Structure 1
């Protein structure tokens, strides 16, 4: 896997989310998202699925789309400054600054800004399903520097659709070091939507 492979992966992810945002309805966009992700994970050289497993890879595992888990919410910026840093093997020390919080019926989540070159919003999630039907380290909802962006209007609103929660790459391969959900992104609700826990024959992963 080369740097240009990763560039192409990110381009494709950004194009995919643009297609999702333009879909006729969220459920249709979710179907597009699932099919495209399965194809990327199966064939792309930057797939987090280990090379030796790709020949038998038969798709990621997902929960059914649940319309009541889609929210368009205002970012509450009345939060105290907070920072967390993640040491990774590929990107060095990755810093995040808390810039807000979104209040959802299932629980509140901190909104983080990648505080380095390029920047981007990041919303991880760890719910009560973690370690059971979903990946134990939690999942990602938005990661705009990587292209995972569901939009929002006006500018201080975000579309937060829990059906689009996806696993970090370290869920597939320990070679990846991924930022995981801090306490402000942990909720007590149990969610069976989005990408589910990897299991034999059904692999599921942060690019």
Structure 2
């Protein structure tokens, strides 16, 4: 199936508008009453279809539990589920290979991968603790399976907006040596 850039862009803009609306509603917002009053929308990089890439799944059969440190000096347990291999443009526009690990929360059902990551925008244009992507899939993942990985959907954890939240920090294996100028930005 061919990728329709205009439809994708419209869906992304609509998704971002809906997220901004959720941030204004008390029960779905990480912001307190004062923060909601001052809120004028999440900062984003411009939508860029070059950062919606095809990823190839390499299943991790180790059943290893990973204890991710959190922003509140705690830890949360995840299982390493798959390595996701992809190519993104580097600073000069040339394709560069990257790999991120997708995790499943211990005691969570299949169907979703949690992909926390840092890149060369971290702490400069994006949240200093890293960003997240959630990938949803039907059934079981297969080795060699491919599907879209859209960095335009990369988001800041709730702890970027309120210290009351405890958010997992991306493990070292998910620190990319390239910039991913896509998704949510962060300005203090």
Tell me the equivalent position of 2:177: 188
Closer, same or farther in 2 for the Cα pair 1:191/1:76, shift >3 Å?
same
Gaps of 5+ in 2: 89-97
Gaps of 5+ in 1: 1-22, 200-207
Alignment partner of 1:169 is 2:158: yes
Higher helix residue share = 1
State TM-score, norm by structure 2: 0.79
* Counterpart-to-counterpart distance in 2, 1:196 and 1:176: 19
Closer, same or farther in 2 for the Cα pair 1:136/1:88, shift >3 Å?
closer
Shift of 1:184: 1.5
Mapped contact 2:79–2:103 kept (Cα < 8 A): yes
Higher strand residue share = 2
CA displacement 1:38-72 (0-9 Å, x = unmatched): 00001242301122111121000000111111123
Mapped contact 1:102–1:108 kept (Cα < 8 A): yes
Mapped contact 1:72–1:152 kept (Cα < 8 A): no
Shift of 1:82: 3.3
Closer, same or farther in 2 for the Cα pair 1:88/1:137, shift >3 Å?
closer
How many equivalent pairs are there? 170
Of 6, 31, 34, which residue of structure 2 is paired with 1:49?
A: 31
* Counterpart-to-counterpart distance in 1, 2:138 and 2:175: 23
Alignment partner of 1:125 is 2:125: no
Of 44, 52, 57, which residue of structure 2 is paired with 1:70?
A: 52
* Counterpart-to-counterpart distance in 1, 2:108 and 2:83: 22
Shift of 1:109: 0.1
Tell me the equivalent position of 1:113: 104
* Counterpart-to-counterpart distance in 2, 1:159 and 1:78: 19
Mapped contact 1:124–1:138 kept (Cα < 8 A): yes
Mapped contact 2:68–2:170 kept (Cα < 8 A): no
Worse-superposed segment, 40-49 or 58-67: 40-49
Closer, same or farther in 2 for the Cα pair 1:138/1:93, shift >3 Å?
closer
Closer, same or farther in 2 for the Cα pair 1:154/1:27, shift >3 Å?
farther
Shift of 1:153: 10
Please provide the CA RMSD for this pair.
2.8
Closer, same or farther in 2 for the Cα pair 1:122/1:131, shift >3 Å?
same
